[in-house]
Amino acid sequence: MTLDHDNFIPKPFLLRSPSSMPPFTSPAHPPSIHSYWSDSNPGLVGPTINLHTVAKPLLKRMHHRQALQLIKKNRNSPLSTTTLEIYSSYLPWNYVSSSTKDAILEELIARSSFEADARAVVDSPIPHYIKQMLGSPDIRAQISACRLIGNLLSHECNTPIISELGLCMRLVPLLEYPAVIPHVTYALSQIASWLDGAKAVVNAKAVDHILELLESQSPEVLDPTCALIGRLASHKSTASSILELSPCTQLVKLSRNKNFQVTTGAIYALSQISRESDGAQAIVNAMAPEYLLLLLESPSPNIRGRTCALLGRLTRDNSTAPAILGLKPCIQLVALLRDEYSGVTARAMFALSQIARWLDSAPAVVDAEALDHVMELLDSRNPDIQAWTCELIGRLASHRSTAAAVMELKPHEKLVSLLGAEDSPIIVRATYALSRIVGWLGGPKATVEAKALVHLMKLLESPSSNVRGWVCELIGGLASHESNALAILQLKPCTRLVALLRDKYSGVTAGATYALAQISQLPEGAQALVDEQVLEHVLLLLESTTPNVRNRTCMLVGRLASHFSTATAVLELKPYKHLVSLLGDNDFHVTASAMFALSQIASWLDGAQAIVETEALDCVQNLLSSSSPDVRGWTCTFVGRLASHDSTASTISDLKPYKLLVSFLATEISWSATYALSQIARRLDGAQAIIDAQIMDYILKLLESPQPTVRFWPCVLVGMLASHGPTVTTILNHTFDELRRQSSDAEAQVRIQTIIDNLTLE
């Protein structure tokens, strides 16, 4: 009997488990002379040969040879269904050698690093055998299964097998076996990369073993354990399970490990823990922050990069930022912008962008000459470098103290070019940077000239919520300048912006509301919004749980109410109670905007009368005593608007706000206070009360202001006071007393007194 070794197909290719194999029913063959010597020959006396025993080693070698040939033949081709079925047919059979199975598994492990091949493996019978291998007493099989699981789960598309095979519940018990621990931990860390996987890891109580694993002396155990900690800490829903362990002290100790890989892993874990404020504080408590500066000088690029990431996250947190900013790391971080490893450069730029969040620290970034690298890094081939450079520009452009330095770079054209990038994070941060730049003189014009408008409508349709949100902010920033508002309107963005008010992401809704509020500053913009039925969304938005949405919706209502053409639509909406309820909001920005909206509505008689019927007036005294200048300022305007209507003026008299309003004349809200007083002074009782509040001590100083806008309402106020006989004398006496005081000429003083006497007689 001879075998064709090239075409022989062993029984495993039938893809049936041993228990399901049907009885062997091959047709009868002529007796072989070789069978004569078999122990099954009853007529043979003496020594015999067990042919099955003799054949098994030969079969194992044949299977092994054929498997290697199959692997070699398919190595450069995508894994096909047929190939994977053949591979899987070797795995359940005992007469296939361990070395053959190992070769097949090694091939699958290597190939599963690639997403397409990994997906093919998951769709084949292989996962069924993985589950069996995890329960095998063979340690080599367990190790191979863990490694294969780890590689398969490095791809998000394969996450369904986590629950389908119950992987975590099968893996965690293997942590009891030292030889398997590194590979189990690796598999769990890969599973934990994904939210559902991280939850499964926690539910399987893998975290109960973490502190013990951190005590290991083996880098092969410590490295994947740190990765597991970091992955679990990176998800909000599982971060608490890590924080409850309090692993920071052990991780900080490992960050000093002589093994670079362990140090890198420990710093990675710490950087993920620092995402949560409690974690960031625990890290600072467990380490001397100065050690981070030493790590920035490490010869390992991975350590330098991870340390930059940790620095950035600790700087981002309010509670730990002072400790990091006190290190003054900007010069070292800027030096890393020239690092030969792009990953280090990207993370150094991330850290600098987080330092630039803070008003007091942003100048240090500029002083360290970070901006010298910006224009070059915007052209980097590394998308992370481009994205974080945009972030740094946006952060610095957010502060008056550093915005000028950004504007001098003139980065508009490069930023606008990045709006067409393929990488979403780049678009997000480029849009963010431009939205900050347009807030400064010259920013809007330069941004429009760089052809930013070409991209806006397309970006409003982006699948990325962050892109949609920031492009709304950019549109709003451009529309806030009258010179660009008409150009924005010509894009006809209102339909899309109104639709975004229903976006499920609050950041997008807030951005859209801001853009609409800015567009509505123009009468034609306001009319376009009313035509798009924007007011149908307003009452619901005023009840939003997001303060920024409530704030900007109030601004939108106020702007629409300020135009004759759209005020009627606002009054028909009757938003008074909603707005009044926001006067007690916990966010003072919302309170100020709600009062702004009410003050605009109160410009109209019908609106003023409707507001008086609410509880708005009950809030006025408290709001005039607010610590927020914006709240006090808009409350003054509101008081003035109600006082300007004969039918509602008496409600202000009942409040008797005169002394408070007069005291504001020496503050930053003097303009609003003077307006309110000028309207109160329209009535004699109001004018007399204002005089009694010692207003003349302030009025002349305001009249001497070099700013016409400051002088305007004091002039109106004096006119109103002078229109009443009982108060005109007080005004004249005070005025001429001041003139007499300033005059050193005795004759002039006599003449001034004569004028006063004559005016009094008249």
According to the model, what pLDDT value does residue 43 have? 54
According to the model, what pLDDT value does residue 541 have?
Answer: 97
Please tell me the number of Cα atoms within 13 Å of 603 on its side-chain side: 18
Tokens of 697: 């001590």
Query: What does residue 379 show for φ and ψ, rounded to 5 degrees?
Result: -95, 5
Summarised one tens digit per residue, pLDDT across range 596-628 is: 999 999 999 999 999 999 999 999 999 999 999
| Cβ 408 vs Cβ 437: under 8 Å | no
Question: Which tens digit of pLDDT belongs to each residue from 179-207?
Answer: 999 999 999 999 999 999 999 999 999 99
Task: Please state which of the ranges 214-223, 552-561, 658-667, 706-715 shows the lowest mean pLDDT.
Answer: 706-715
537-545: average pLDDT? 97
Q: What is the residue-wise DSSP string for 339-379?
A: -SSHHHHHHHHHHHHHHTTSTTTHHHHHHTTGGGTHHHHTT
Phi, psi of 49 (to 5 degrees): -120, 125
Q: Which CATH number fits domain 656-761: 1.25.10.10, 3.60.20.10, 1.10.3720.10, 3.90.180.10?
A: 1.25.10.10
Query: Does residue 733 carry a pLDDT above 90?
Result: no
Q: What confidence score (pLDDT) does residue 23 get? A: 41
pLDDT band of 702, cuts 50, 70, 90:
confident
Read off the amino acid at residue 269: A
CB of 637 within 8 A of CB of 602?
no
- Percent of the chain that is helix, strand, coil (3-state, to 5): 75, 0, 25
DSSP class of residue 209? G
What would the CATH number be for the domain defined by 1-11+47-204?
Answer: 1.25.10.10
CA pair distance 26, 18, nearest whole angstrom: 17
pLDDT band at 697 (very low <50, low <70, confident <90, very high): confident
Q: How confident is the model at residue 708 (pLDDT cuts 50, 70, 90)?
A: confident
Global pTM reads 0.83
Task: Using pLDDT thresholds of 50, 70 and 90, give the confidence band for residue 41.
Answer: low
Predicted confidence at residue 660, as pLDDT, reads 94
Lowest mean pLDDT among 282-286, 322-326, 642-646, 694-698: 694-698
Local structure of 38: helix, strand or coil:
strand
Question: What is the arithmetic mean of pLDDT over 49-65?
Answer: 64
| pLDDT at residue 8 tops 50 | no
Among 124, 26, 30, 31, CA closest to 84: 124
Q: What percent of the chain is predicted at pLDDT more than 70? A: 88
Residue the block writes with tokens 């003077």: 674
SS (H, E, C) 437-485: HCCCCCHHHHHHHCCCHHHHHHHHCCCCHHHHHHHHHHHHHHHCCHHHH
pLDDT greater at residue 57 or residue 51? 57
What does the domain layout of the chain look like in residue ranges? 1-11+47-204, 656-761
Domains 1-11+47-204 and 656-761 fall in the same CATH topology: yes
pLDDT number for residue 323: 95
- Residue-by-residue DSSP string for 682-726: TSHHHHHHHHHTTTHHHHHHHHT-S-HHHHHHHHHHHHHHHTSHH
Model pLDDT for residues 343-368, shown as the tens digit of each residue: 999 999 999 999 999 999 999 999 99
Q: What is the mean pLDDT of residues 512-533?
A: 96
- Over residues 480-516, the pLDDT tens digits come to 988 889 999 999 999 999 999 999 999 999 999 999 9
Per the prediction, the chain carries an average pLDDT of 89
d(CA 254, CA 248) in angstroms, rounded, equals 10
- For residue 250, which of 281, 294, 216, 206 has the smallest C-alpha distance? 216
Tokens of 426: 């780049």
CB 209 within 8 A of CB 189: no
**Position 555 pLDDT exceeds 70:** yes
Q: What is the pLDDT of residues 92-106, one digit of tens each?
A: 877 778 888 888 999
Q: Are 560 and 529 in contact (CB under 8 A)?
A: yes
Q: Which two tokens stand for residue 262?
A: 């362990």
Q: How confident is the model at residue 6 (pLDDT cuts 50, 70, 90)?
A: very low
